[in-house]
Structure 1
Amino acid sequence: MRVLQRYITTEIVRSVAFALAAFLALFAFFEMMGQLEAVGRNGYQLQNAVLYVIMGLPGNVYELMPIAVLIGTIYALAQFAASSEFTIMRVSSMSTRMTAKALAKIGLGFAIVTILFGELVAPKATELGEKIKLQAQGASLSQQFRSGLWAKDVIKSDGLVGDVIGTRFLNIQRIQTDGRLEGVKIYELDKDFRLSDLIVAASGSYQGNHTWQLADVQKTTFIIDEKVSAITAPIATEKIKTVNFVSEVTPEILSVLFADPDRMSAYDLRAYTKHLQANNQRTERYEIAFWKKIVYPLSIFVMMGLALPFAYLHFRAGGVSLKIFTGIMIGVSFQLINNLFSHLGLLNTWPAPVTAALPSTLFMLMAIVALRWVERR
């Protein structure tokens, strides 16, 4: 069995690598065509576009891995069936359960690769690609918003701990690619939602440990008590060269506001979801994206299960090319339904784990039904 396992693994890995490379080349070509429109504008050169496309490839690897595994496995198993190798394997006491176990071992390796790309490689590469593009164009992250970037935070009595004593709204005009903030306005409200402080700063930089340092600060304090209304409250204004303030808002959280949730890591999605929950904001979109990150590597095993019935279809039942085309259609359908259920779950407020797991569950049931059908034949 070890010899067969090694042989099957070699053939499937080779086929999957070829299918993945073909898809990556195709996607890179179309992405490059889309970037050519911006080449030559605002300092954005061809080499910048090439680097941007390359930085997007790890994200494509993560998204395309299940389809590549499905097509590569179908091709390898169809070749076994066409040359009667799979028939010989079955005659040599290799049962369907043993075949499924062999495929599961191979799928485990592909699932680990998918997790590594989804959690470590793709998010960093995508972020680096966006920085390369913005630096080449001389743009900042928040120039696409007229009023700048808005974020919400809570004010606690002792920095990050203690009782909640107010609410803070941050307005940032520009975020440079190095993480420096420009045009910062901070509105601090007390527990009764009365404006207590208005802080305006020319720039801000992150010092680590949830601490920001603001430069060229003008602080306006509204002295309000129970006897004085917010309209007639006395105002105290002071100018400060630099001031530090502690906030749960970090550069990672700010970068999330510009990122596609599907390209973020599960760790970042979980951290941002907790931040939104702490500020009583909607989290459905990010919860669904988080659970999709958890379930998506398991779809590798689903694709392996869908490919297994093709080994029982002999060459006379359909050419290898027809089986490959069928595999492509199944893979594309899986991606479309997976994305469709994400939107349906968001619109209908379905539980995030159910929304993420339902497409894989449906396709696994299809694989089981198809496998029983070919076995009966």
Structure 2
Amino acid sequence: MMLIDRYIARSIAWSSLFVTLILLTLFVFIDFIGELGDAGKGDYGVVHALIYVVLTLPALLYQLFPVLALLGTLVGLALLANHGELMAIRAAGVSLWRILGSVSMIGLVFVVLSFVVGEWVAPKSGVFAEQYKSRLQSGDASLTKTKSGYWLRKKNNFIYVEGIADDGKPGGVDIWTIDDETLALTRSLHAEIAVPLAQGWQFNNVDTINLSMAGIERQNVRVMQWDDFPEQSLLIAASTKPEELSAYELFRYVSYLHNNGLQALAYEQTLYSKIVAPLTVAVMVLLAFPFVFGSLRSAGIGHYVFIGACIGIGFHLFNELFRYSGLVYGLPPLFSALAPTALFFVIAIISVRRIF
């Protein structure tokens, strides 16, 4: 039985690799054409655009994993069916349940790979890609800037950060402090750069304006220690798209947003999507099984590819529909993330039961 497991797994693995190379090549070409519109901004050229697209490949691979698992399993099993190998396996007394178990083993490998890419590889490469592009476009080799900076809140301090340096230090920091009772502005602070310490932060080249009933007082100091400032990891999370964060980073940032009374729905939805993603990959592998052993077992490879593409596109559209509906109508983020996968799981179970 171990020989059969390896044989089926090898067929699905090679088919998945082939499908992955084709789809990634296609999307790299499309993304590269789109990036050419930004070429010429600052020091960002055509070669840099290609490097940027390559750096975003892990994130693209993570997004395509459910479709790749579906197509790879379909094509791998279809090749075995068309060559009569599945029929020979059945004739040897191997049940459909046993073959499904063999398919599930390679499906588990896909799930683990999806988790590893989504939790470690894609977030790191995505952040590096955005920093790489931003530095070249801005012409600043030390500071990664966004188009309009980004905002944070820590208790009664409203914080604006212009960008993040290569070593993770925030630059161009502005802080406005509001009185808890009167909601009046009591202090305005600008620091050229913030340096993390063991306890708190050190602000360099600081301009401070204190406002009180006695008047306005302005100070300029080279160094100031500031304790009430977000952690460095939260600053990086605030400057990163939700999709480019790992599940752990999303969880910490969602907790920070909740603790400071800020809106966290978009980040919560992305967090639950990250959690559900490995389950989606497993469902897609399961969904491929009945198409090969059902009424299409005598069809050509093209039929299986077409069916897989239709299912993959349908799932993507359905998933996006629930995602944006959740944001617009305030649906529970767990429901928005889980509903499409749950629906396709039910379809897969019904389809599998029909062939047994």
1:240 aligns with 2:240: no
- Provide the residue aligned with 1:3 in structure 2: 3
- Provide the residue aligned with 1:169 in structure 2: 158
CA RMSD of aligned residues (A): 2.1
Q: Following the alignment from structure 1 to structure 2, what is the Cα–Cα distance between the partners of residues 183 and 316?
A: 63
Q: Following the alignment from structure 2 to structure 1, what is the Cα–Cα distance between the partners of residues 122 and 319?
A: 20
Supply the AA of the counterpart residue of 2:185. Answer: L
1:150 aligns with 2:151: yes
Residue from 344, 349, 353 that aligns with 1:368: 349
3-state DSSP of counterpart to 2:331: coil
Aligned residues of 2:206 and 2:220 also touching (Cα < 8 A): yes
Q: CA deviation at 1:67?
A: 0.7
Residue from 242, 254, 261 that aligns with 1:280: 261
Say which is worse superposed, 10-19 or 207-216, in terms of deviation: 207-216
- Given the superposition, is the C-alpha separation of residues 338 and 356 from structure 1 closer, same or farther in structure 2, using an over 3 Å criterion? same
Say which is worse superposed, 63-72 or 248-257, in terms of deviation: 248-257
- Provide the residue aligned with 1:264 in structure 2: 245
- Provide the residue aligned with 1:162 in structure 2: none
Q: TM-score, normalising length from structure 2?
A: 0.91
- Provide the residue aligned with 1:324 in structure 2: 305
Q: Following the alignment from structure 1 to structure 2, what is the Cα–Cα distance between the partners of residues 354 and 70?
A: 23
- Provide the residue aligned with 1:307 in structure 2: 288
Q: Following the alignment from structure 1 to structure 2, what is the Cα–Cα distance between the partners of residues 210 and 71?
A: 52
Q: Following the alignment from structure 2 to structure 1, what is the Cα–Cα distance between the partners of residues 132 and 33?
A: 18
Q: Following the alignment from structure 1 to structure 2, what is the Cα–Cα distance between the partners of residues 316 and 298?
A: 26
- Provide the residue aligned with 1:200 in structure 2: 190
Aligned residues of 1:5 and 1:102 also touching (Cα < 8 A): yes
Q: Following the alignment from structure 1 to structure 2, what is the Cα–Cα distance between the partners of residues 15 and 244?
A: 58
- Given the superposition, is the C-alpha separation of residues 244 and 363 from structure 1 closer, same or farther in structure 2, using an over 3 Å criterion? same
The Cα offsets for residues 99-150 of structure 1, whole Å up to 9 and x where unpaired, read as 22222211111111111110111011011111211222215644522xx432
3-state DSSP of counterpart to 1:37: helix
3-state DSSP of counterpart to 1:144: strand
Identity of aligned residues (%): 30
Q: CA deviation at 1:315?
A: 6.5
Q: Following the alignment from structure 1 to structure 2, what is the Cα–Cα distance between the partners of residues 57 and 286?
A: 22
Q: Following the alignment from structure 2 to structure 1, what is the Cα–Cα distance between the partners of residues 11 and 42?
A: 48
- Provide the residue aligned with 1:229 in structure 2: none
- Provide the residue aligned with 1:345 in structure 2: 326
Q: How many residues align?
A: 352
The Cα offsets for residues 2-53 of structure 1, whole Å up to 9 and x where unpaired, read as 1100101111111111111111111111111112223233221232112111
3-state DSSP of counterpart to 1:213: strand
- Given the superposition, is the C-alpha separation of residues 315 and 191 from structure 1 closer, same or farther in structure 2, using an over 3 Å criterion? closer
- Provide the residue aligned with 1:186 in structure 2: 175
- Provide the residue aligned with 1:78 in structure 2: 78
- Provide the residue aligned with 1:127 in structure 2: 127
- Given the superposition, is the C-alpha separation of residues 69 and 173 from structure 1 closer, same or farther in structure 2, using an over 3 Å criterion? closer
Residue from 305, 322, 338 that aligns with 1:357: 338
Q: Following the alignment from structure 1 to structure 2, what is the Cα–Cα distance between the partners of residues 218 and 45?
A: 37
Q: Following the alignment from structure 1 to structure 2, what is the Cα–Cα distance between the partners of residues 291 and 297?
A: 11
Q: Following the alignment from structure 2 to structure 1, what is the Cα–Cα distance between the partners of residues 146 and 286?
A: 47
- Provide the residue aligned with 2:99 in structure 1: 99
The Cα offsets for residues 244-273 of structure 1, whole Å up to 9 and x where unpaired, read as 212352343233334321222101111110
The Cα offsets for residues 310-360 of structure 1, whole Å up to 9 and x where unpaired, read as 221466743221111111110111122112211112222222222211111
1:218 aligns with 2:226: no
Give the unaligned 5+ runs of structure 2.
Answer: none
Q: CA deviation at 1:306?
A: 0.8
Say which is worse superposed, 336-345 or 286-295, in terms of deviation: 336-345
Q: Following the alignment from structure 2 to structure 1, what is the Cα–Cα distance between the partners of residues 119 and 295?
A: 40
- Provide the residue aligned with 1:227 in structure 2: none
- Given the superposition, is the C-alpha separation of residues 37 and 107 from structure 1 closer, same or farther in structure 2, using an over 3 Å criterion? same
Q: Following the alignment from structure 1 to structure 2, what is the Cα–Cα distance between the partners of residues 65 and 210?
A: 42
The structure with the largest alpha-carbon Rg is 1
Q: CA deviation at 1:366?
A: 1.1
Say which is worse superposed, 133-142 or 113-122, in terms of deviation: 133-142
Q: Following the alignment from structure 2 to structure 1, what is the Cα–Cα distance between the partners of residues 329 and 45?
A: 44
- Provide the residue aligned with 1:157 in structure 2: none
3-state DSSP of counterpart to 2:37: coil
Aligned residues of 1:81 and 1:313 also touching (Cα < 8 A): no
- Given the superposition, is the C-alpha separation of residues 107 and 208 from structure 1 closer, same or farther in structure 2, using an over 3 Å criterion? farther
Supply the AA of the counterpart residue of 2:287. Answer: L
Q: Following the alignment from structure 2 to structure 1, what is the Cα–Cα distance between the partners of residues 336 and 150?
A: 30
Aligned residues of 1:179 and 1:251 also touching (Cα < 8 A): yes
Say which is worse superposed, 170-179 or 67-76, in terms of deviation: 170-179
